Amino acid sequence: MTTTYHHGDLPGTLVNAAVEILDEEGGANDLSLRAVARRAGVSTAAPYRHFPDRGALISAVAAVGYRELAVALNAACPDPSGPEDLAAIAIAYVDFALGRTGLFRAMFAEPCGTDPDRVEAVDMIKAYLTGLIRKTLPDADGEDTATAVWALVHGLAFLHLDGKFDATSPDEVHRRVRATVDAALHIN
């Protein structure tokens, strides 16, 4: 009698294994399907049944990251009402980048794939930010201002990640992000 090994949700297991590796190692450059298979406890050929290449896996991982980022942003300020609330959300964005460095880099430093989950997750973040700007800055162009604020905060995240700004003190990171967002939006 021959038995077939069945892993269950192998694609989900592989994505979770990749996220674990990214969280532990802090960078996506060395992430390979072989390492992910090893972490998931499956053969090195198994990932190829679900992900044709490394890019497809990274795209699926990035989709998870975008959804987790959306949760973190919403948790930082569940009901933003004015421009002053944007700094709290910006701080949550930078904190996510600093706390989940490997995942964040995979989300943004890797080429974007056309994986439908990733596209949907990115669209969700864009819609959230545009809606946030329309609510907190009703006189501003929602989409263009959302892009400008996202670019500003994203730049701050990478300046901290890449050691251009000191990231050793969360209080200093938060102060810098708040001051920068307030200055850019002419708050206070």
Residue 14 lies in a domain: yes
Domain housing 90: 10-184
Does residue 146 carry a pLDDT above 60? yes
Residue 124 lies in a domain: yes
Does residue 6 carry a pLDDT above 70? no
Instruction: Answer yes or no: are the C-beta atoms of 87 and 182 closer than 8 Å.
Output: yes
Band of residue 4 on the pLDDT scale cut at 50, 70, 90: very low
Residue 174 lies in a domain: yes
Q: Where residue 64 sits, what CATH number does that domain have?
A: 1.10.357.10
Residue 3 lies in a domain: no
Total domains in the chain come to 1
Query: By mean pLDDT, which of 26-35, 78-87, 106-115, 148-157 is the weakest?
Result: 106-115
Residue 161 lies in a domain: yes
pLDDT of residue 113: 64
What is the DSSP code string of 99-143? HSHHHHHHHHTSPP---HHHHHHHHHHHHHHHHHHHHH-TTS-HH
Average pLDDT over residues 54-73: 92
Average pLDDT over residues 140-155: 93
Instruction: Answer yes or no: are the C-beta atoms of 93 and 161 closer than 8 Å.
Output: no
Residue 148 lies in a domain: yes
Residue 1 lies in a domain: no
Burial class (CB in 10 A: 0-12, 13-18, 19+), 36: buried
DSSP symbol at 46: G
Residue 5 lies in a domain: no
